[in-house]
């Protein structure tokens, strides 16, 4: 289950005993983007084809930007497909392929 901090916890910069980076104020004003970001993160985290630990997801006006590294081209394609399936209007691919040897 994905747990997000409450606004009061974000101001304290702690959540579940961890220090948080400042929240992007964009998401406080654009709840649809926050919902989409959560849906994309959840889809990718549940996927057996993509390692979500090395991905960063950013959403602006329904457009998802994926950054980070994936193991191979099939993982890249899966991440993009999962973002679209979660409801992204478009996906900007900034993923690096770092094949493990």
* Residue 6 belongs to a domain: no
pLDDT tens string 45-66:
999 999 999 999 999 999 999 9
Residue 26's pLDDT is what?
A: 73
Q: Note the pLDDT tens digit of each residue in 9-42.
A: 444 444 455 444 456 777 778 889 999 999 999 9
Question: What confidence score (pLDDT) does residue 20 get?
Answer: 46
Query: Is 76 within the bounds of a domain?
Result: yes
70-86: per-residue pLDDT in tens? 999 999 999 999 999 99
We report the CATH number of the domain holding residue 54 as: 3.30.1340
Residue 70, in any domain of the structure? yes
The answer as to whether 74 is a domain residue is yes
Give how many domains the chain has, as a whole number.
Answer: 1
Domain with 69 in it: 27-97
Distance between CA atoms of 90 and 101, rounded to whole angstroms? Answer: 32
Domain for residue 1, yes or no? no
In a domain, 65, yes or no: yes
Is residue 48 domain-resident?
yes
- The per-residue pLDDT for 12 is 45
pTM of the model: 0.73
Q: What is the secondary structure of 19-76 as a DSSP string?
A: EPPPPPHHHHH-HHHHHHHHHHHHHHHH-SS--GGGEEEEEETTEEEEEEEESSHHHH
Domain-embedded: residue 80:
yes
Q: Are strands 55-60 and 18-19 parallel, antiparallel or unpaired?
A: unpaired
């Amino acid at each position: 289950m994905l747990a997000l901090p409450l606004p009061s916890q974000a101001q304290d910069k702690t959540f579940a005993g961890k220090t948080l980076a400042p929240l992007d104020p964009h998401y406080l004003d654009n709840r649809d983007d926050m919902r989409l970001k959560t849906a994309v993160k959840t889809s990718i985290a549940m996927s057996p084809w993509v390692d979500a630990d090395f991905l960063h997801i950013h959403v602006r006006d329904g457009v998802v930007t994926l950054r980070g590294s994936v193991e191979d081209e099939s993982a890249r394609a899966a991440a993009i497909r999962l973002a679209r399936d979660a409801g992204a209007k478009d996906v900007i691919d900034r993923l690096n392929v770092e094949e493990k040897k």
